[in-house]
Amino acid sequence: MVTTMFLIGLLYVVFVGVLLAVLRDSWPIVLVIAGGLFVAQFWFSDRIAAYSMGAREVTPEQAPELHGAVDRICALADMPKPRVAIADSDVPNAFATGRGEKTALVCATTGLLRRLEPEELEGVIAHELSHVAHRDVAVMTVASFLGVLAGMMARVWLYSGLGRSSRDSNTAIAVLVVPLVSAVVYVISFLLTRLLSRYRELSADRAAALLTGRPSALASALTKVTGQMARIPTQDLRKAEPFNAFWFAPAFSSKESLGRLLSSHPTLEQRLDQLGRISLQLGRS
């Protein structure tokens, strides 16, 4: 993860350096766009995602089983309790949002609550709360910012008057270089953030398994959730698919989905293999 973050940071430095060198007189525009995008993405992305997925906060009286699982995991992890929500969806899944523990929200779908046993639910909640403890939402927001900036810069340059404001040779070069560099940076950044996301998911699985002491329960939940996806209507899966980076397990609307190749999550086999190794380690200890 450190190596991947270093590469993302290096890519960011190169990208901004090229933009400043090429644009010169337009560098204030770069800074304004970059600053505005970063602030909006960092402060509002988690709330937008939770709203888009239909999360509604619930009280302990409304969802005693879910609140009970969150209370037990928070006690084990010695962390403050986040807000608890439920999304009315038959897709069996869960997610956590928030830049840190103070703004965190953990949400489970009605489909997940209906299908999992209590110990399996605790494993899933432990996975999601480990994302909160590790500040994964903030990490992924910062990591993905470069790709968003690169894509936005290409659009601004191509569709505004910036590229046609002058006929001198520097502007002509910039018209060619900026979109090209932005496209390359976007692709590389996208691949690196996907790689980082897969590492973060494996880290959350490991933390949840060690925290609960029941890696087999988390493995059972993973197997059950992934297997149940095939029975969910395609229309529901398509609605859930854009938010795969947040979900406990990704939802794919088809076996041929490109998202499977560029998934934000490791494969089920990789996750189960890691949990199996942890189970053996705990057994020996």
**What residues are labeled active site?**
128
d(CA 28, CA 266): 40
d(CA 265, CA 197): 7
d(CA 217, CA 119): 6
The distance of Cα 110 from the centroid of its chain, to the nearest Å, equals 21
CA distances from 28 to 31, 49, 162, 177, 275 (A): 5, 30, 13, 18, 49
d(CA 208, CA 279): 12
Indicate the DSSP class of residue 78.
T
Tokens of 88: 């009315």
Indicate the DSSP class of residue 24.
G
Q: Which amino acid is at 282?
A: L
d(CA 192, CA 101): 26
Mark residue 230 as left, alpha or beta (left: phi above 0; alpha: psi -120 to 50; beta: remaining). alpha
97: three-class secondary structure by DSSP? strand
Q: Which positions make up the binding site?
A: 127, 131, 201
d(CA 87, CA 199): 26
Q: Which positions make up the binding site for Zn(2+)?
A: 127, 131, 201
d(CA 161, CA 159): 7
Contacts of 20 (CB under 8 A, 6+ apart): 27, 30
